[in-house]
């Protein structure tokens, strides 16, 4: 079993209150809310990644822990990038992670009419105006972090004129980009987001849900606080990059007639080494066909991780262990793998599979005989039962488990040495057979008929190898994955970052026959090799297995060393 990582890495939010839980408990104690209401608000413009997983676990767990509820709200305010495929995959992924939102499924687009009415209210109050500056001019007038912005010449349009123009924007009187609706706040604010932010833009794009009803669409910073308030959200939890947006969030709600004002709280995003948490980057990988799709097992998407064989319980455990903080940092990918292994070790069915086979002939074993040995399905869980493993005269072992001449401390097979075959006999190699090119093609061995499951009379057999019977072996394809990126931190350049070694396909692998019962979602440990799961590409003729993780845990070891 893997060593338990140090306390610093596994702070339990259940035992020590994180800052978000402190706020919530204080609010509840002060009687501010009868119950808490939180939400997970994805934009349906891509598949969810494990960073979203952190936000999902956080919000749904808060609802569970404090007896409140968590809404799933699609933030579908940008029709150009949004698709039904993503709306569906996001729901699949949240459910797969183990959370349920029903009956609280919402779409920001359901609020388009209300959002429009609130915009009219802001115009009436003199707090919003239609600006006809070009996009470049809007940018130019905004100023820089060190120089204040300038007022647009259209800023002082009358309420009547603004109402008329905004109605015309809605009815399609203007071309895309001809004008925008802006909040009238402060062009000299040190916070650039408060320099009269855009609330609405004109965009003729077909919306997945509202079709062509609208040609104006609200901006995120305007739609989000109002959507939250309409749903009675108490705590609107988002990532740190929204800290600067908070004054705008509050400004919107302070200036419209709505009697709910959720509290926005920001926490640090999850970042992982050797991968990237950005839909934009992930989309580029998909578009460039460097991966097979959003659910490619190398992707940090929840769909990719599911296909890779990561158990949802392991992802939840990981998200809980890393906790929530206010400081951005990068998590070691190995820390995620630690939780994957912990979970897989408990549930994976053990099987013997030879990835790179070399033939073994047992000269003193009868030609036609087959013996069936019993092996545990999972020594961690005796209730999983056993399976039968056939043994015969011709077997395969791993090519790498043999050396013609054994180097020091090589306890596997070499000429003259003896090893145990797992669940079966001990064998000794007598001779190697080579082809014309000098390549070893066969090992001639003998077995000790008395060595079955016995401790041996004084003989020390150090190595135990996995093997399969040639006549019974099932050919499989094994897909061996490595990190998506070549280096721990992305350079932002897709082609420089992408690890060309991230997938190796082994076509000659052979499995023991019990593997034939494998179905998608099953977890296996191929003895001495790693954790694997069947891929949906499998056919009855050729099962395909994805490597979920190696057996070795480098992260826990590293942690241990660092903490010594």
Q: Which residues are catalytic?
A: 43, 269, 279
Show the site string, 241-270: x = touches ligand ATP by CB under 6 A, - = not. ----------------------------xx
Please list every residue from 23 through 82 that binds Mg ion, using CB under 5 A: 43
> Rule CB under 6 A: is residue 273 a binding residue for ligand ATP?
no
Nearest-angstrom CA–CA distance, 352 and 375 = 10
Please state the closest distance from residue 182 (CB atom) to Mg ion, in A. 21
**What is the β-pairing status of strands 353-354 and 263-267?**
unpaired
CB nearer to Mg ion: give 55 or 216. 55
CB neighbour class for 351 (10 Å; exposed up to 12, middle 13-18, buried from 19): buried
Q: In the stretch 411-450, what mask flags binding to ligand ATP with x, by CB under 6 A? A: ----------------------------------------
Q: What is the rounded CA–CA span in Å between residue 167 and residue 325?
A: 44
Taken in order 272, 52, 241, 237, the sign of the CA dihedral is negative
Phi-psi category of residue 406: left, alpha or beta, with phi > 0 → left and psi -120 to 50 → alpha: beta
Residue in the block written with tokens 């001990």: 426
Q: How many residues sit in the footprint of ligand ATP (CB under 6 A)?
A: 14
Q: CA-CA distances (angstroms) from residue 322 to 121, 283, 331, 399?
A: 44, 26, 8, 40
**The entry of Mg ion, ligand ATP, none that residue 334 binds, CB within 5 to 8 Å by partner kind:** none
Q: Which is nearer to ligand ATP, 240 or 474 (CB)?
A: 240
312 binds, among Mg ion, ligand ATP, none (CB under 5 to 8 A by kind): none
Q: What is the 3-state secondary structure (H, E, C) of 259-287?
A: CCCCEEEEECCCCECCCCCCHHHHHHHHH
Out of Mg ion, ligand ATP, none, what residue 42 binds, judged by CB under 5 to 8 A for its kind, is: ligand ATP
From candidates 5, 13, 24, 52, binder to ligand ATP by CB under 6 A:
52
- Verify binding: residue 61, ligand ATP, rule CB under 6 A: no
Q: Report the residue from 51, 304, 311, 543 that binds ligand ATP according to the rule CB under 6 A.
A: 51
- The distance between the two most distant Cα atoms of the chain, rounded to a whole number of Å, is 102
C-beta closer to Mg ion: residue 43 or 164: 43
Question: Which residue number has the CB closest to ligand ATP?
Answer: 51
Which H or E element spans position 432?
Answer: strand 426-434
Contacts of 166 (CB under 8 A, 6+ apart): 119, 120, 123, 130, 181, 200
C-alpha span between 445 and 356 (Å, rounded): 19
Q: Which of residues 212-241 bind ligand ATP (CB under 6 A)?
A: 238-239
Contact with ligand ATP (CB under 6 A) among 108, 277, 426, 556: 277
- Give the list of residues 6+ apart from residue 31 with CB closer than 8 angstroms, or none: none
Span of 106-114, 271-279, 341-349, 484-492 interacting with ligand ATP by CB under 6 A:
271-279
Shortest Å distance, C-beta 237 to Mg ion: 14
Binding stretches for Mg ion (CB under 5 A):
43
Binding stretches for ligand ATP (CB under 6 A):
41-43, 51-52, 54-55, 238-239, 269-270, 277-279
């Amino acid at each position: 079993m893997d060593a338990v990582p140090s306390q610093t890495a596994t702070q339990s939010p259940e035992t020590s209150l994180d800052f978000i839980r402190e706020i919530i408990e204080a609010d509840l104690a002060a009687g501010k809310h009868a119950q808490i209401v939180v939400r997970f608000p994805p934009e349906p413009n891509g598949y969810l990644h494990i960073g979203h997983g952190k936000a999902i676990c956080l919000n749904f767990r808060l609802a569970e822990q404090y007896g409140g509820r968590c809404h799933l709200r699609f933030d579908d305010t940008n029709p150009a990038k949004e698709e039904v495929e993503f709306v569906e995959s996001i729901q699949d992924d949240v459910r797969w992670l183990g959370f349920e939102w029903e009956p609280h499924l919402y779409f920001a687009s359901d609020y388009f009419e209300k959002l429009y009415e609130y915009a009219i209210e802001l115009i009436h109050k003199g707090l919003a105006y239609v600006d006809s500056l070009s996009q470049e001019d809007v940018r130019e007038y905004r100023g820089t972090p060190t120089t204040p912005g300038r007022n647009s010449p259209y800023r002082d349009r009358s309420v009547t004129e603004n109402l008329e123009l905004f109605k015309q924007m809605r009815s399609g009187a203007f071309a895309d980009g001809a004008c925008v609706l802006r909040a009238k706040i402060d062009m000299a604010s040190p916070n650039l987001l408060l320099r009269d932010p855009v609330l609405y833009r004109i965009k003729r794009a077909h919306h997945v849900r509202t079709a062509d009803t609208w040609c104006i669409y609200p901006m995120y910073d305007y739609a989000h606080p109002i959507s939250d308030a309409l749903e009675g959200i108490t705590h609107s939890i988002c990532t740190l990059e929204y800290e600067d947006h908070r004054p705008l969030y509050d400004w919107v709600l302070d200036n419209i007639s709505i009697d709910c004002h959720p509290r926005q709280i920001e926490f640090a995003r999850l970042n992982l080494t050797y991968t990237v948490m950005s839909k934009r980057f992930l989309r580029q990988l998909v578009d460039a066909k460097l991966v097979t799709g959003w659910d490619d097992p190398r992707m940090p998407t929840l769909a990719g991780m599911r296909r890779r064989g990561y158990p949802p319980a392991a992802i939840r455990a990981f998200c809980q262990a890393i906790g929530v903080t206010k400081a951005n940092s990068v998590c070691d990918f190995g820390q995620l793998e630690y939780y994957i292994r912990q979970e897989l070790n408990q549930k994976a069915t053990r099987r013997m599979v030879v990835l790179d086979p070399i033939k073994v002939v047992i000269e003193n074993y009868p030609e036609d005989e087959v013996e069936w040995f019993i092996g545990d399905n999972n020594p961690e869980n005796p209730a999983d039962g056993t399976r039968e493993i056939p043994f015969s005269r011709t077997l395969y072992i791993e090519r790498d488990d043999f050396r013609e001449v054994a180097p020091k401390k090589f306890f596997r097979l070499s000429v003259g040495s003896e090893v145990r075959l797992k669940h079966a006999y001990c064998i000794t190699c007598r001779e190697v057979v080579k082809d014309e090119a000098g390549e070893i093609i066969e090992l001639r061995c003998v077995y000790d008929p008395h060595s079955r499951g016995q401790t041996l009379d004084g003989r020390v057999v150090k190595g135990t190898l996995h093997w399969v019977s040639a006549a019974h072996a099932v050919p499989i394809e094994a897909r061996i994955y490595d990190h998506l990126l070549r280096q721990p931190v992305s350079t932002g350049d897709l082609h420089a970052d992408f690890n060309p070694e991230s997938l190796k396909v082994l076509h000659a692998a052979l499995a023991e026959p019990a593997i034939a019962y494998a179905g998608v979602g099953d977890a296996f440990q191929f003895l001495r090799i790693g954790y694997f799961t069947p891929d949906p590409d499998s056919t009855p003729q050729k099962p395909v297995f994805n490597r979920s993780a190696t057996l070795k845990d480098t992260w826990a070891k590293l942690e241990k060393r660092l903490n010594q």
